[in-house]
Structure 1
Amino acid sequence: MKILIIQQKMIGDVLTSSILFEALRLKYPKAQLDYLINEHTFPVVENNPFIDNFIFFTKEVESSKKALYKLTKVVKHKKYDVVVDVYSKLSSNLISFLSGAKTRISYHKYYTTFFYHHNINRIKDNNSKAGLAIVNRMALLAPLDIETTFIKPKIYLTEEETANSKHFLKNHRIDFNSPLFMISVLGSGVKKTYPFSYMAQVIDTVVAETSGQILFNYIPKQEAEAKSIFNLCKPKTQKNIFFHVFGKSLRAFLAITQHCDAVIGNEGGAINMAKALDVKTFAIFSPWIDKASWSLFENDNNVSVHLKDFKPELYTKAEKQYKNEAVALYETFKPEFFTDKLKAFLK
């Protein structure tokens, strides 16, 4: 049996959907299990022992109808028996439909039902700690007689990556006898980034409570924004921030993160990757993101806060409908709302 899973776009999505491979491998140990993803997300699933092959949705495919058509031919040539489309957008609809697979599965949308043999309705309410993002992904495997189970996403680092990252941190005077925190200072965009002055207050609290060492998660092109947050921190806090100590690649970031006591800050890829490395997390959700879906495996080690937790009266419709109001809503989401919760987490 040959099975293809399709999950394009963000790192967090690709990492979360990787749980399907572990479940599939348990059910079909001899099957060929392949993953179609955006090429920039590969580092979070690199070395995953349950995935046999990768197909990349490149920037060229993203911007060219001709390149997309070529990709559909590549997929069809591989003669998959099953295609599971987690992404479920136009590009993946076409890839799935033209694959020729005898079993095609995706989420139910009235305008794409003819592309698939099984159209799965998303669950909207969930009492599980796993989070709806996990629950709904596992539901896609029901047509393959795989019962819902809650597998946690995992990232697989090599011994060499672990050793090299520890050496790197020691060379930059990181003391492994003192707490070390990674701060997710910036989200994937303005509408997913906690206001700079508020984030600085959060970092001040972390240092005041723990005297811990602080690393910032940012990429070189974000240096000016990260520096702005650094400058808003108290002078005492700034002394504990190792501003220029960061991973210059995604795998380097992952290797460094595994040595941290916790990742704190904007909910998103960094938080999801930390959970996959079994590193504790404290996530600050954007006001327009559905916490029920993405607060994965919430417990004492994985804590999250959302404006809706403190100001439920502001929400008269689904969170995603507030996307254009995110910046204004962020301004009402003051750090004081969750300072006690943060302090309890740090203890």
Structure 2
Amino acid sequence: MKILVIQQKMIGDVLATSILFEAIKQKYPNSELHYVINSHTFPVVENNLFVDYFHFFTPEHEKSKLKLFKFAKDLNKENFDIVIDVYIKLSSKLITFLSKAKTKISIDKGRKSLVYNYTFKHKLKADTNAGLAIENRLQLLTPLDIDPLKIVRPKIYLTENEKNEAKLFLESNSIDLEKPLFMIGVLGSGSNKTYPFEYMAKVIDQIVLEQPDSQILFNYIPKQEADAKAILDLCTAKTKKKVYFNVFGKSLRSFLAITSYCDALIGNEGGAINMAKALYIPTFTIFSPWIKKEAWNMFDDGQKHVSAHLKDYNKAPYQNIKHPKILKSKASELYLDFKPSYFESDLKEFLRRLN
């Protein structure tokens, strides 16, 4: 049995969808599994034991309809038995349409889903603490006679060499691995998914106050340095001494290896949080007010994985709306209401449990 899974978009999406491969291999160990992903997301699934072949959707495919068509035609030559298109993008729909596969599975998007012979509506409420992002993906495997409530967790596979290099890098930068080490997701994927700088500084101050031996790392890439530095400048003098600002991963794989040595990742909801969970590192997540918490609070248990959302403390903005995405244009205004004091006690308890 030959199966193609298509997942375009962000790193967190690609990581979440990787669970399908483990679930399929558990049921059909001899199946041949292919994964179409955006090329920049590959590091998060590199060395995944359950994916047999990767196919990369590149910026060139986005710019050129001719190259996209050739990409789709080349995939068609693989003669897949099953195609699972997780999101239904224009490009993934073309790949599915051209495929000779008899089984084509995706989410239910009304008329957009006519290419597919098995479609599933997104669940509105999760049955487990895996969350909707996981459960909505696993239900796509129902036509394969796979139990959608047999939960599989996303996993990241680091090599011993990667872990050893990260350890040497940290120690060479005066990081004491016997003391608490925290990775801070200081910035989200955009301004409307980034906790206000002043508030984030207060969160970092609280971490140092609760854990005086803390060593703090910031997760940022070079082009975000100015914003990361602006947050550092808002921290207290005591906190600044605990921040190793220039110690950060120069690549996604090095970030993952460094994070594997951290006691927790704390900060904005997004790919970094999901990657930490896949590394089995404790997380404290600060959600953007317009993101649906139930979709991406994967494996929250109130102990090792905790999250905070404005809706947890102020339900007024969410009355009579179908989806918090409606509030996207008001993100800045709502963020200002989402004060660190709302979840101060939750963060304190989270940090104390790490001892």
TM-score, normalization by structure 1: 0.99
Bigger mean CA deviation after superposition, 321-330 or 249-258: 321-330
Q: Counterpart in 2 of 1:327?
A: 332
Alignment partner, residue 310 of structure 1: 313
- Find the counterpart in structure 2 of residue 28 from structure 1: 28
Q: Residue 188 of structure 1 aligns to which amino acid in structure 2?
A: S
Aligned to 2:114, what secondary structure does the other structure show?
helix
Aligned to 2:205: 204
Supply the distance in 2 between the matched residues of 1:298 and 1:342 (Cα, whole angstroms): 14
**Pairwise CA distance, 1:146:** 0.6
- Which structure 1 residue ranges, 5 or more long, are not aligned? none
Match of 2:189 in 1: 188
CA distance in 2, matches of 1:297, 1:119: 25
- Quick one: which amino acid aligns to residue 306 of structure 1? H
Q: Could you tell me how far 1:232 is from its partner in structure 2? A: 0.4
Once the 2 structures are TM-superposed, how far is the Cα of residue 122 of structure 1 from its aligned partner? 1.2
Query: 2:245 aligns to what?
Result: 243
**CA distance in structure 2 between the aligned counterparts of 1:135 and 1:76, rounded to whole angstroms:** 29
The correspondence of residues 194-233 of structure 1 with structure 2, limited to 5 A, is: 194-211=195-212, 212-233=214-235
CA RMSD of aligned residues (A): 0.7
SS at match of 2:79: coil
Match of 2:157 in 1: 156
Secondary structure of 1:337's aligned partner: helix
Counterpart amino acid of residue 315 in structure 2: P
SS of aligned partner of 1:292: helix
Partner secondary structure for residue 112 of structure 1: helix
Aligned counterparts, 1:61-72, within 5 A: 61-72=61-72
The alpha-carbon deviation at position 181 of structure 1 amounts to: 0.1
* 1:88 matched residue in structure 2: 88
Structure 1 stretch displaced more, 243-252 or 26-35: 26-35
Identity of aligned residues (%): 58
5 Å matches for 1:251-262? 251-262=253-264
Give the total of aligned pairs: 347
In the TM superposition, residue 326 of structure 1 has moved relative to its aligned partner by 0.9
Which AA in structure 2 matches 1:187?
Answer: G
* 3-state SS of paired residue (2:91): helix
Report the residue type matching 2:309 in the other structure: H
Q: Secondary structure at the match of 2:4?
A: strand
Give the match's secondary structure for 1:140: helix
- Partners of 2:330 and 2:95 lie apart in 1 by 34
Give 1:321 deviation, angstroms: 1.0
Three-state SS of the structure 1 residue aligned to 2:111 is coil
Matches for 1:264-303 after TM superposition, within 5 Å = 264-299=266-301, 300-303=303-306
- 1:127 Cα deviation after fit: 3.7
Worse overlay, 90-99 or 185-194: 90-99
Give the deviation of 1:113 after TM superposition.
Answer: 2.6
Structure 2 residue aligned with 1:345: 350
Distance 1:59 1:11 in 2: 15
Deviations 1:272-291 (A, max 9, x none): 00000000000000001000
Partners of 1:122 and 1:110 lie apart in 2 by: 12
Q: Which runs of 4+ in 1 moved over 4 A?
A: none
SS in 2 for 1:187: coil
- 1: CA distance, partners of 2:311 / 2:298: 17
TM-score normalised per structure 2:
0.97
Q: Which runs of 5+ in 2 are unaligned?
A: none
- The equivalences for 1:72-111 within 5 A come to 72-111=72-111
Residue 327 of structure 1: CA displacement? 1.2
